[in-house]
Structures are given as structure tokens and as C-alpha cells.
Amino acid sequence: MINLSAEQAKDKQKFKKAIKCVVWDLDNTIWHGVLLEDDRVFLQNNVIDIIKILDSRGILQSVASRNEQNKAMLKLEDFGLHEYFIYPQINWNSKASSIQKIAKSINIGIDAIAFIDDQLFELEEVNFSLPDVLCINTTHLDQLLDMPEMNPRFITKDSKNRRLMYLSDIKRNQVEEEFVGSKEEFLATLKMRFTISSAKEEDLQRAEELTIRTNQLNTTGYTYSYEELNHFCQSDKHKLLIASLDDRYGSYGKIGLALIECQDTIWTIKLLLMSCRVMSRGVGTIMLNHIISMANNQNVKLCAEFVSNDRNRMMYITYKFAGFKELDTQNNLLIFDNQLNYKYSFPDYVDIVLPV
């Protein structure tokens, strides 16, 4: 069994801070010049290459600019860059409020954002209002790609396609807002296919990335390295499950992970996480109830570890709805117990593929 207290301390050193989204200013940052004064602006040296490389690394990008929206977006289109920026905030609000709106739209923490601007005043205002944001002066643009925060350990298939997945999410959300009917009726129109499988070696880079990136819907907040996850894959005392989701709009990629420690008479869920992009689809409950079914078939007791924080309340509710009860508390670690008498049927609106 892993020493959890030692692991928590080790995690702080094992993984560097990862930037999930770079937010750009426009005037004298992406381009030289001030658009409202002269529309004959021209791009900064190498800025197209920088934007494309960040995108290829799975780092999302957006815009926070004091500008006239239509004019600025048309200029980004002229440069062939508009598709790289999701949820752009081009208005006359403070940069801090725009960054907060971007973080909320993407559903990531403020501490996962970097902000690039040429104006010292803007950088200082953001640093004062949002001290967890990594603020970068445009004068340091040439060093951006070499920063450790901009270099994920692995670049997976899912990370390469991250922006496209978010663009699909935006389309789904628009359709959902316009849909007339119940939540279940809308979900049925998506034609979802949720696949749960035992993690294989080729899944482990993405599995590590999930433990690092998914802090909002992570039941314990634990992070595991590729090497640790590979150990669990080969261990007779552990089960490592990974889940993916597809629908009519495309693939969400691999979006869920569960680690179960298996002893002779008791199984313990050490980690259960779901991407925040899919939790509203009900797949977290499907994953948890598949684990309950597995334990029931093996006639073993099922427990779960949970570390409560202000970001994973939804996972706490998921455990409660699945019949888990609080058994014990060890410092800030909750131990849940499930008597396996909870009856659950999988929803009709999703096609579920389970491991053989």
C-alpha cells in the first residue's frame, strides 16, 4: 500500500506547475500597433509559430484585449489566427475580469493561466487582482516556449487535439442551450458511447496527464507518475481503469480514470476522476457503478478514499448517490464504505462498452 502522507509531500516536487491556457493581449503583443488607431498592424516576429507550437502541446489559448470586438476578430481572421483562441474576451472590461470569465468558461483554475501583455500597468493589475496567474511581459516572448510551465512532460493524442475538443464542446453547449426538452432527451440526441477498459501501457502518458490536470473532479487530488501507473498496471493487487467518451460531434478523448487497490476481502478506490467537460453527462456515476458491480461479483467489501476540497464537491455527491457512507476520518481523509446493496441501472441514453 502506498504511504499517502509521503506521497502528498512528494507530489509537490514531482510535477511542475502546468499552464493550461495562455491568454494574449492583442495591441503590441500579438501584433505591432494599436488597431483602433491604424488597422495596418503587423504580427510580432515568430508569433504564429509560438501560437501553433503551444496549440500542438495541448495548451489552450484565448484573448483578453481592450478593443472593438468585431474589428479585432476580423483582423485575427485576416492573420489566420482566430481559430486558435477559445472564448476570446475583446471588450472594455478589466483584463482581470476577462481572465476570470475565460477560466470559468473553460472550467479551469486561475492558477493554470498565463497572461501576456505589453503594458506594465495591465500586468500589475492582473497580478494584484489574480496573484495566481502567471504574468508575462511581451518583451519575454522569445523565451516563452522554453519556460518549464509551457512544456508538458508528455504530448498525447488527446493533448494535441485539445483545442478541437473544446471547439466541439462549444458547439454542443450551443445546441443544448437551444434544445427544447428535458436533460435526458437532449443527452439521447448526442448518441454517446462510453468505453471503460483496463489501462494499457499506451494509455499511461494520458493517465498521468489526467491526474495532473484534473484537480476539480478528482476524489483525492493524488497525482501519479507514468512509472507509478505502470506499476499499478502490472500489479495483481490493483486495477487501473481508463474511460473514453464519443458522441455525434466527435471524441472527448480519454476523460476518466479509476485506481482500485484490491485486497482479498476489501477493495479500496484510491482515485476516481473525471474531466470537468463530461461530468454533466453522467459518466462519473456510470464509472463508479461499474466498480460497484465488479466488487459485488467478487464478493468483496468496497471502500473509497476521499479528500474534500472546494473543487470536488460534485464527486462527493456522486459517492453519496451511489450509496457510499462515511465510515471514518483520518485527518482530512474520508473513508467511504459501500454495502453493495445499491441498485443501479445504466441510463438508456448512452451506449456503454465494458471490459471483457
pLDDT, one tens digit per residue, over 115-146 is 999 999 999 999 999 999 999 999 999 999 99
Contacts of 220-227 with CB under 8 Å at 24 or more apart are 220/270, 220/271, 220/305, 220/306, 220/307, 220/333, 221/307, 221/309, 221/312, 222/4, 222/7, 222/8, 222/11, 222/270, 222/271, 223/11, 223/14, 223/15, 224/259, 224/271, 225/14, 225/15, 226/153, 226/154
> Are residues 209 and 241 located together in one domain of the fold?
yes
Least confident of 42-56, 212-226, 325-339: 212-226
Domain termination residue (choose one: 126, 150, 174) = 150
Same domain, 81 and 184: no
Question: What mean pLDDT do residues 340-344 have?
Answer: 68
Judgement on whether residues 110 and 220 belong to the same structural domain of the protein: no
User: Over the chain, what is the mean pLDDT?
Assistant: 90
Cell output for 114: 498565463
Residue 5 has pLDDT above 60, yes or no: no
For the chain, report the end-to-end CA distance as a whole number of angstroms.
Answer: 27
Which of 91, 117, 150 marks a domain boundary? 150
Total domain count, the chain: 2
161 shares a domain with 33? no
> How much is the pLDDT for 312?
85
185 and 141 both lie in a single domain: no
Q: Which domain holds residue 114?
A: 19-150
C-alpha to C-alpha distance for 215 and 112, rounded to whole angstroms: 11
Task: Using the predicted structure, report yes or no on whether residue 280 has a pLDDT greater than 90.
Answer: no
pTM for this prediction = 0.82
164 and 217 in a single domain? The answer is yes
* Range of lowest pLDDT (62-76, 87-101, 208-222): 208-222
Together in a domain, 61 and 165: no
253-272 mean pLDDT: 95
Q: Looking at the structure, do residues 200 and 259 belong to the same domain, yes or no?
A: yes
216 confidence band (pLDDT: 50, 70, 90): low
Statement to judge: residues 40 and 86 lie in one domain: yes
- β-bridge mates for residue 66, sequence order: 91
Give me the percent of the chain exceeding a pLDDT of 70: 93
The winner for highest mean pLDDT among 7-16, 213-222, 288-297 is 288-297
Q: Are residues 109 and 189 in the same domain?
A: no
Domain boundary residue, one of 108, 128, 150: 150
Q: 3-state class of 69 per DSSP?
A: helix
Binned at pLDDT 50, 70 and 90, residue 356 comes out as low
Q: Are residues 130 and 95 in the same domain?
A: yes
Whether residue 224 sits in one domain with residue 131: no
- Predicted pLDDT of residue 346: 83
Single-letter amino acid, residue 302 = L
Helix axes 95-106, 120-129, angle to 10 degrees: 60
Give the CATH number of the domain where residue 132 resides. 3.40.50.1000
146-187 confidence digits (pLDDT tens): 999 999 988 988 999 999 999 999 999 899 999 999 989 999
Strand bridging mode 21-24 / 113-117: parallel
pLDDT of residue 109: 87
How does residue 16 score in pLDDT terms, banded at 50, 70 and 90?
Answer: low
